[in-house]
Structure 1
């Protein structure tokens, strides 16, 4: 990594240093664990004050991109990869908002251009039952100028869908793959899926998740999907938005969501009022209890056993708590 600074720029020197280091992290020129030059060494190399470099490093550390380990030096933080993902999502969101704003100003023509970059896959087929695969292609080429015929047929071959097959002859899993093949063939950059794996057998579900993982691997494509099958989220999701009974409970990184809770169980005699107030979805038995608790509140459950919570655990216990709050089961 080479850093170049100049007093001819309006940007303060420390910001020039910070931006260049941040750019190197975001572009993977610097990877988690990589060593950064010491503050004094970099200040000497750039011929700037130590305090200037220190300010740049301090802001990067406060934002979570680097860490300063006493006696060892400065390193790219291990959690920086999560921050990079969030940064990319933020940038994509800004671009989408900008595109929508421009579309509103320009009218329907710009709106149509945006829609051409979006692929939608429902939990049931939107094709005419009698169509064969050539009929499906004809329908799409009318609307998408970027349609790639060669890619379409290549994907169908990969998904083992023959040209002569009619839509009604395809299984639900095959119909899902056909909708994905169409979206991929006009290079949709955003896929929106509604319960994509619902009703699929385990093999078809695994194949579909593998296809989606390959699709987003280049970092230029994104997938937004709703699901009640939490194991799908554990396999491929980077970010989760959890809504329970119409209330937004959480939105953020998957690991942050899982790390935020633990499952606890213990002797019913140790269930004091202060602890009970911290428990979520409490379920009691003749001699014991089981519940969800925020990781930050574990100190209140020092006498209980605690276990890592799965997404399924979190959803079940929170749903139980919501029902209890509304006067449902206890």
Structure 2
């Protein structure tokens, strides 16, 4: 089978398009013929050796996969060969075939394309876990979303609106903010042209925001935290800016605020029942037409390194996907 292979840590141009042996499923696992795999920011970190864990070489990046079950391992009772599924894996998705644990796999909803299915689990799962479980977002509260036009940012925007919140979308260009308005943002801030803190205070009449959804990091995290409301919650999603912020912790004391970590993968492993309930709710919303993944661009498997480069340069809006049919 063909795969994008990481033989040493480095930038996307060091990845290789190779013929490798197909894996075989063990107990509790499935072998999937991958039809699509979305690109996520952690993929850019894992190939550089900057992620929470480091796979052994060689490995393929890619975690959000959709495809067809080709082979079923022992003691897998709820799936069979030929089933169309969507799954989440730590790595290995940028390949024609991948191993997925059966417990991390779900039937692909009817009417959902393989491309959309591959763009669903991680982004929507992260955002719903963040807003529902970690922030306990309430109807009528105000949410500030940093990097709001990105892969997780747009999903957070959609979900916050569905949950009855007012949304302030912040992004780096007017073009990105125009997309956020299409997805229902109530207010927008271009933080390359305007003071993030001052505009938030202006929009909220000095109150500040109840929830900050922060996948960006860097100096924007502190600017946002300075505009948080009393008893606000600052959700730490990731660090697309490339810099882990150093926050003056006294800011939380002054506002009675909380800085809350969000790691959907760990949540899914440690609280599988609650995670499954969240996924069921998300898929129900998709079936009703309330959630619509925004696919910015698709790439062939051979061009997957270009997709990772676009992600690293923050040139994307919504999701980008490796489509094995291209």
TM-score (norm 1): 0.22
Say which structure is richer in helix. 1
Computing the radius of gyration over CA atoms, which structure comes out larger, 1 or 2? 1
Q: Which has the higher contact order (CA 8 A, sep 6+)?
A: 2
Say which structure is richer in strand. 2
